[in-house]
Chain A
C-alpha cells in the first residue's frame, strides 16, 4: 500500500477502451469531460485504446466497451477484454442493447447481404466479399452482456461527459458507480 503523503500517490488504474459495433460516439463523449481529463490522467493510465493506438489489451483494472457484437472479430476483442480486465463496463446503447446496428436483427442476414452486394446500384455483381481478412458477420447483433459477463453498465447514446465523469470518479474511489437522475439517459 502506498503511504500517505507519498508523492507518487495511489497506483494508477489501468484502463482499456474499445469500440466494437459502435460509432466511436461514446469515445468522443468521453473526451467531452474536457479539463477533467487532466485530473483523470493523474489517476488512470491507458492500455489498449484508440487514444494509445495499442492493438492488444494487457492486464487492466477497467475495460470500457463501446458498441455491440456484430462479427467474429468483435467476439475476439470482447473476450480479450474480459480475460484481461478486472472490471468490464458496457458503455452506451449499442453495448447495452445492440443499438442501431441491432436494427438489422429482424432481417435475415442473407437478405441484408443480398440487398447490398447483389441488388444495389454500383455494387451489384461484385459478389458478397469473402476475403478472410474481413471479420465474418454474426446472424444477429448482440449486446455484450449476452456474450460475456459484464460488471457495470453506463447507458446513453452516448453517455454524457458528465456521466462518464461521475461514473469514473466512483470507480476510481472504489465505490459502486451510481448515476443521479438526469445522468441516466438512454438517448
Chain B
C-alpha cells in the first residue's frame, strides 16, 4: 500500500508529456480512430491521465499494443474488450453502460426532466395569480424609440426615468 502510494506520488510530480513520435498511420481514418482510443484510455499508473498524455512505460506499451491491433484490422470494440479484459472497466474514461452504471448515465437527463417538471408546475400556479404592475418592471427596450408611439415611450420612462446617475 505504502509503496503504491509512493509510486503514485512520484509519478504525480512528473509532467513529461506523452509525445508519440511514431509515424502516423497511412490511412487518416485509422489515425483518427487511434487518437480517439488513446484519448479515452486511462494510464493506470499515473494520476488521472490518459495514455495519450503520459510517457509512463505502461502508456507507451499500451499505445504500441493498440497501434498493432489497429494495423491488424481489429475493430474499436475488440480493442476495448482487450483493454477491459486485461485491466477492468477502470481503464475506460467513458464508463461502459451496464448494471452498475445505468444510473450514472441516466442521471443528467433525469435531473433535467425533474427540473423542467418543477418549472411547469410553478408556471401553472403562478400564471393564475394576479399580475400587479407597479411601474418598476423591467420593460423591454425598443431599437428605435419614436416619441410618437406613446406606449414605447412609456416603457422607456418606466425603465430609465428613475435611473439617476
A and B part of one assembly: no
Q: What residues make up the interface of A, taking CB atoms closer than 8 Å to B?
A: none
